[in-house]
Amino acid sequence: MAMRFTILGSSSSGNCSLLATQHCKILIDAGFSGRQLCRLLKTVGESIEQVDAVFLTHEHSDHTAGIRGLCRFRHLKVYANRSTARAVQSKLKRRPNWKLFETGSTFAFRDLEITSFAIPHDAYDPVGFIFKSGRDASLHGKRSLAWVTDLGYVSELIKQRIRKVDVLVLEANHDTQMLARDPRRPWPVKQRISGRHGHLSNEAALELLDTLEDPGWEHVFLAHLSKDCNSVEKVSQNVSNGTNRERSYRISVAPPGETLPPYEF
């Protein structure tokens, strides 16, 4: 095993995953309160004291709400690009142990190699991540995971970055018809969600899975579902109604607000 990946929770109301390698444990986003995060970690037999770092994709509260509460854990490093760190810091009294990276750069943390890349979303400088780990000499070489949520559309750069990873976490935010019919969201909000810097629909997510040539994935997690404008059933329907093309990988859908079993690869 090179990595163990656990979605602690993923939806429009909060996102956080745990990625463990041989030599480190990190959180990808921290979109629940500090207390809730500690509780979620406990449910999978971990604790915040054992987590080494948090990697933030962008400043929206469903990805960063926990940073305030996590500030008191001084051992925790918080990785973000400058614009995201500035936006998050502006709402905090204390200063987390920021570690800044440039969007587009590749850097190391313990036995992880991390690459960030720009994604189209209405935040200051939102990113997706590729995490790689494992010994080059092992049977599988390095193993890799891509984390790509909160994006209005899938750019060519994103397609290039995610094509050959082993595990892909991709947003399937809303069903376009459910969003159009939703009585609670005013029209401008609907425009924002479905726009070029909003969120990826089920249809757009499936289109990517069905059209990207020769993907290397063994498992795809569809995540960041909207609680009001999507459901696991809708996403699953889309998956099975999709292409006739034989899929060489498995697909899991992350139910909003639920912790998924750990996935080892």
Q: How far is CA 86 from CA 81, 178, 217, in A?
A: 9, 35, 34
Contact 37, 259 (CB under 8 A): no
Interface pattern 108-147 for Zn ion (x via CB under 5 A)? ----------------------------------------
Contact 9, 32 (CB under 8 A): yes
Q: Quick one: 125 or 166, whose CB is closer to Zn ion?
A: 125
150 binds Zn ion (CB under 5 A): yes
Helix axes 202-211, 232-241, angle to 10 degrees: 30
Q: Quick one: 62 or 175, whose CB is closer to Zn ion?
A: 62
Question: In the bound complex, what is the minimum distance in angstroms from residue 63's beta carbon to Zn ion?
Answer: 6
Our measurement of the distance from residue 214's CA atom to the centroid of its chain's CA atoms, rounded to an integer in Å, reads 22
d(CA 140, CA 131): 15
Question: In the bound complex, what is the minimum distance in angstroms from residue 141's beta carbon to Zn ion?
Answer: 32
Question: In the bound complex, what is the minimum distance in angstroms from residue 254's beta carbon to Zn ion?
Answer: 13
Q: Quick one: 21 or 57, whose CB is closer to Zn ion?
A: 57
Question: In the bound complex, what is the minimum distance in angstroms from residue 166's beta carbon to Zn ion?
Answer: 24
Among 14, 17, 25, 60, binds Zn ion (CB under 5 A): 60
Strand, helix or coil at 6?
strand
| CB-nearest residue to Zn ion | 60
62 binds Zn ion (CB under 5 A): yes
Question: In the bound complex, what is the minimum distance in angstroms from residue 224's beta carbon to Zn ion?
Answer: 6
Q: Which amino acid appears at position 235 of this protein?
A: V
Our measurement of the distance from residue 128's CA atom to the centroid of its chain's CA atoms, rounded to an integer in Å, reads 7
Q: Quick one: 60 or 161, whose CB is closer to Zn ion?
A: 60
Question: In the bound complex, what is the minimum distance in angstroms from residue 23's beta carbon to Zn ion?
Answer: 29
171 binds Zn ion (CB under 5 A): no
Tokens of 109: 């943390």
Q: How far is CA 115 from CA 13, 55, 72, 141, 146, in A?
A: 26, 11, 27, 17, 9
Which residues of this chain interact with Zn ion, rule CB under 5 A?
A: 60, 62, 150
